[in-house]
Amino acid sequence: VVLAPVLVGAIMNQYFHGFVMRLSPFMPLVAVFTVAILCANAIAQNASAILISGQQVVMASCVLHTSGFFFGLLLSRLLRIDVASSRTISIEVGMQ
C-alpha cells in the first residue's frame, strides 16, 4: 500500500522529471482530497455504529484529532520548524 506509490513516484521523478515538476504544485491538493475521501469512506461504512455509540464517542474523536492538529502545528513552530514542514507534522499528528 505504501511501497508501490513511493516506487512509482521515484521512477517518475527519475525518468519524467519535467512532468513531475509541472505536476508538483497540484499534488498537496490531490493528497488532501484523497485523504478526505478515504476518511469519509471509513466514516460512512461505520456510520450506524458511530451513531449508536452516541455523541460522546464522536465528540471525543473530534477533540482528539483537533488537538492533534493544533498541538502538532504549535509544537513544531515552537521548535522553529519551517511552515511547510510544520503543516505536514500537524496533518500527520492530527490524522493519527
Residues 9-55 have pLDDT tens digits of 999 999 999 999 999 999 999 999 999 999 999 989 988 888 888 78
Distance CA 5, CA 67 (A): 29
Q: What is the pLDDT of residue 53?
A: 83
Distance CA 14, CA 72 (A): 32
Mean pLDDT of the chain: 92
Q: Cell 511552515 maps to which residue?
A: 83
Distance CA 77, CA 36 (A): 25
Residue 5, all three cell numbers: 506509490
User: What average pLDDT does range 54-78 have in this prediction?
Assistant: 92
